[in-house]
Structure 1
């Protein structure tokens, strides 16, 4: 164990919603929900004002509307979120070369590897964290919560305790004071199943877990998981901060407003997804041996099928043929609400298989332990298996915003990509950036019955006026997001 609180964990507060509030002055201090906006949408994140009404991430948007009908429900704008993330990650990089991003809004930093590492002590680490939070506020107008500790595990839990907009420092030897009172679910690797097993033997807190007989935990959960649970309960975690983590797969998936029941339509959608997946694979200069198909049926049951080829490939014809062969194994009578295509077991080159035969096949259900076949980034195949890194930040947004994941997303983890066309026939969507030839930049507040309502304001302005136009008005056009804080300007709101 380290003798200095040299591991910093940073987590931006309600990131997507906070970016929207900073970009839209009229929404500051009001409930904001970001995610899918249609009947099958899911909440990506909610502002703290919305959380007071019980709105939370991964909740169906329909339920969020019932709980907080007066909230602003907005589509995700990942270009804006990524721009802010790059500013934040740049500030972390000034502290240390060892920065491990977990998502757009969350990262670990090894302060001991930075320029202040040799003389670092608790006071020095605290000073760096205080300065970092101030720099983030100045650069973005947003707040961040930070945990400092001797390990990644404790730093992550400390930042959670610091939320919102706080700093918790756990000096060496003080780990038990933070951990012991917390429920066991606060630990990595403890999901509902593990928590229930522990409850049955009278263990509900981390302190009780740390005081348990490790041999008994091994008998209950196996050698690796049992020992790992006991170590984590004692605050023991020697995992290093890893600056670069190679992507395991490239995948794309879409959820449909109406369940697909026609086999010809399913085949066409699979062709389209395969093409998008291969395009992303080639853009990243990668190839892969394992082709995966994900299908979520009308009853929400999700199945994956995967097939391992003889050699890595980036050939669209090979991927497409394999995808159709895998999909033919699934009975989707009743309809499909989601389709996904992925390529895993990645390599840096493509070797064409002259024979086009399959060396072996792995067929199983989602959650059956085939991590490469699980296309839902950030969701382990076994919810109680200890993940490689804590947390994934905000979950992928509502199902209507198709999530695309690939290694070209770089150090910032998988970045879902918003496609307006996936929201049906609507031309203008709530939260979308627009500009008017006379009134300048603004954002779509709503649309319908042939009209679009736009609020004209910018991150540095006062709350703006609302104007309504015909939905096909040529003076209203889509535009790129404006920066939250221009160079040399003080942050506004947040």
Structure 2
């Protein structure tokens, strides 16, 4: 069996935040656990050695789910969902507070463990990386009658190394390119290894729903389905000229190539980012007044995650921006440039508040995001608290439903 010119892996830690918490509370393994509570929700050990855990049914407030174990996901509880809504689906689920210091620690540990086996790594976030395995010794060796035995052995070695360093499991997809590997890493979760060649495209990739391809978002996904293209194979079978007519030259061409598993992007070991951003799409459209508390908590969480990304990457930025997508796919952005670079969550949230004052909330929201640009290395002087006052910033109209 001829092997591809490249072997690219995508490694995704399994339910990362929740799995780190289960290292601390191994007695909860296999149970429905939700991360996203307050510090007051931390487990308490009684005098007799038993533990008391907060339950979702007892939660009141505007918090959102940061992540959940697979058992909780089976009950319909997913990230970015309001905790009160999650409590309706899984009232007996255990609620734990997030501990980002621990998550960053285990992120560093798993990446260092991978680098010992395969050093060409592209960092994609706290819990996922791309790995170029093309030149790793033994990757092209056959094992017994399996011509792909070598690449599978390297994958097992990486997983074992991660397990020894962290006590956690991960899932790895290995294919000729980044696009397919991202998809493959999700196919056999948790704790899976999926190795695909282009010959596997019809059997493993084409039957998947169109949204399984990274780069096909809610808007494009809905349009594809309305056009009768429900699976990746449907896109692959479509006339590329028709795709271009429907989606434009650039995106239509990309859809055709992506559905046929074509992607030439290299694994980038280092690059200077232009901006850092976080965004989330809601399960339902949210009302700026009736869902104000939930929207506020979601924005708080996005700012916290963005601040963690900046700390991990050692960047600060002067320009803070928001992205809001309303029903009807109307997207609004607002930016605010500060005098001093910032990187902590409170400063980012304050700047976001100024941006929100310049938006008219006359429709329901379906997506919300926050971005920071105009970046500098955090080694340069960063104010502990930066002023978010900016000349020319519009005053908030009366009764504007800010969150």
TM-score range (shorter-chain normalised) is 0.5 to 0.7
**Does structure 1 residue 229 correspond to structure 2 residue 255?**
yes
How far 1:323 moved relative to its partner?
A: 8.4
Q: Measure the CA separation in 1 of the matches of 2:223 and 2:278.
A: 36
Deviation string, structure 1 residues 190-214 (Cα, Å, up to 9, x no partner): 2232223222332111111111100
**Map of 2:92 onto structure 1:** 70
**Map of 1:82 onto structure 2:** 104
2:325, 2:332 within 8 Å by CA — same for their partners in 1? yes
2:322, 2:371 within 8 Å by CA — same for their partners in 1? yes
Q: Measure the CA separation in 2 of the matches of 1:152 and 1:259.
A: 38
Kindly report which structure 2 residues correspond to 1:182-221, keeping only aligned pairs within 5 A, or say none. 182-221=208-247
**Does structure 1 residue 31 correspond to structure 2 residue 57?**
no
How far 1:139 moved relative to its partner?
A: 2.3
Task: Indicate how the Cα distance of structure 1 residues 64 and 200 shifts in structure 2: closer, same or farther if over 3 A, else same.
Answer: closer
Structure 2 counterpart SS, 1:69? coil
How far 1:148 moved relative to its partner?
A: 1.0
Deviation string, structure 1 residues 245-301 (Cα, Å, up to 9, x no partner): 433346899xxxx979xxxxxxxxxxxx9xx98xx79x957664x45468999xxx9
Structure 2 counterpart SS, 1:314? strand
Q: Measure the CA separation in 2 of the matches of 1:104 and 1:166.
A: 19
Question: How many residues matched?
Answer: 320
Larger radius of gyration: 1
Kindly report which structure 2 residues correspond to 1:105-116, keeping only aligned pairs within 5 A, or say none. 105-116=127-138
Higher helix share: 2
1:4, 1:171 within 8 Å by CA — same for their partners in 2? no
Structure 2 length normalisation: TM-score? 0.67
1:180, 1:205 within 8 Å by CA — same for their partners in 2? yes
Q: Measure the CA separation in 2 of the matches of 1:172 and 1:219.
A: 27
Q: Measure the CA separation in 2 of the matches of 1:293 and 1:200.
A: 30
1:5, 1:122 within 8 Å by CA — same for their partners in 2? no
Q: Measure the CA separation in 2 of the matches of 1:178 and 1:80.
A: 36
**Map of 1:179 onto structure 2:** 205
Task: Indicate how the Cα distance of structure 1 residues 324 and 5 shifts in structure 2: closer, same or farther if over 3 A, else same.
Answer: closer
Structure 1 counterpart of 2:160, from 126, 129, 134: 134
Deviation string, structure 1 residues 225-256 (Cα, Å, up to 9, x no partner): 00101101001111111112433346899xxx
Deviation string, structure 1 residues 159-182 (Cα, Å, up to 9, x no partner): 100111111111343223211111
Q: Measure the CA separation in 2 of the matches of 1:340 and 1:185.
A: 20
Which structure has the higher relative contact order (CA within 8 Å, separation 6+)?
A: 1
Deviation string, structure 1 residues 95-123 (Cα, Å, up to 9, x no partner): 33321122211111001144556869732
**Does structure 1 residue 13 correspond to structure 2 residue 35?**
no
Structure 1 counterpart SS, 2:115? helix
Task: Indicate how the Cα distance of structure 1 residues 201 and 345 shifts in structure 2: closer, same or farther if over 3 A, else same.
Answer: same
Unaligned runs of at least 5 residues, structure 1: 261-272, 334-338, 351-357, 362-398, 400-494
Q: Measure the CA separation in 2 of the matches of 1:21 and 1:246.
A: 35
Structure 1 counterpart SS, 2:374? strand
Kindly report which structure 2 residues correspond to 1:54-453, keeping only aligned pairs within 5 A, or say none. 54-116=76-138, 122-249=148-275, 284=314, 288=318, 290-292=319-321, 304-307=333-336, 314=340, 329-330=358-359, 343-347=372-376
How far 1:3 moved relative to its partner?
A: 1.2
Q: Measure the CA separation in 2 of the matches of 1:199 and 1:89.
A: 38
Unaligned runs of at least 5 residues, structure 2: 39-59, 280-290, 294-302, 363-367, 382-389, 394-402
**Map of 1:52 onto structure 2:** 74
